[in-house]
Amino acid sequence: MSKQKKYMFIPALVLLFTLAAALPVLAGDDGGTVINENSGAAYSTITEAVANAADGDVLTVGAGTYSESVVLDKALTLNGEPGAVVEGADDYVFLIQASGVVLNGLTMQHAGEAKYAVKVDYDGFDPEDSACWSITNCRMFGTGVDKSAAIHVCGEAVPPSNILIENNVIEHYFFGIDFIMPPIVKTIF
């Protein structure tokens, strides 16, 4: 091989390896894998993992971007690995409708005009169960939509108790945490 061809070959080889390494980034990262730690089952969406989980199961959300709004209607723990991002398309990213839900280590952001990272509707909670849930070590990024809230707690039932909201980062929301309590009912004897 001539000296001139060698000099051309090395930069071309470097360029080829650089493009090959960047290809997954250029293609985009749709989603990772969600593992049910209790059953060992693997899922490509959080919604599918939740649908197939039982009360008390622990789901590990792998690194990747999940474009979905997730309804949590049973007591589950969702632990996000570093790089686990959930982009909500509906009015929320997560809708909690059951006691015993734990969200930990997830990044939540909006793909559209969604108003809430987490909406907690305690009307769906079992009245015999003490209302408890937690959101810890999460990052919530809003779009600045008027009257949006990172965490929106609402319902006409008994207000929640035993909640934990700790060590979260909240940015670009009208409200950080928004509690909408039912009107006080007065009984006259």
pLDDT tens-digit profile of 33-81?
Answer: 999 999 999 999 999 999 999 999 999 999 999 999 999 999 999 999 9
Mean pLDDT of the chain: 81
pLDDT value at residue 19: 38
**Cross-sheet strand order for the sheet of 175-179:** 70-72, 92-96, 116-121, 149-154, 175-179
Residues 103 and 81 sit within 8 Å (Cβ to Cβ): no
pLDDT band, very low/low/confident/very high, at 130 (cuts 50, 70, 90):
low
Tokens of 64: 């990747």
How many whole angstroms separate alpha carbon 176 and alpha carbon 58?
27
Residue 120 CB partners (closer than 8 Å, separation 6+): 96, 133, 151, 152, 153, 154, 155, 160
For 101, phi then psi, to 5°, come to -85, 135
| Residue 187 pLDDT exceeds 50 | no
Spell out the domain ranges in the chain.
1-30, 31-179
User: Which has the minimum average pLDDT: 20-34, 127-141, 155-169?
Assistant: 20-34
Q: To 10 degrees, the CA torsion angle through 22, 28, 30, 32?
A: 20
Residues 123 and 153 sit within 8 Å (Cβ to Cβ): no
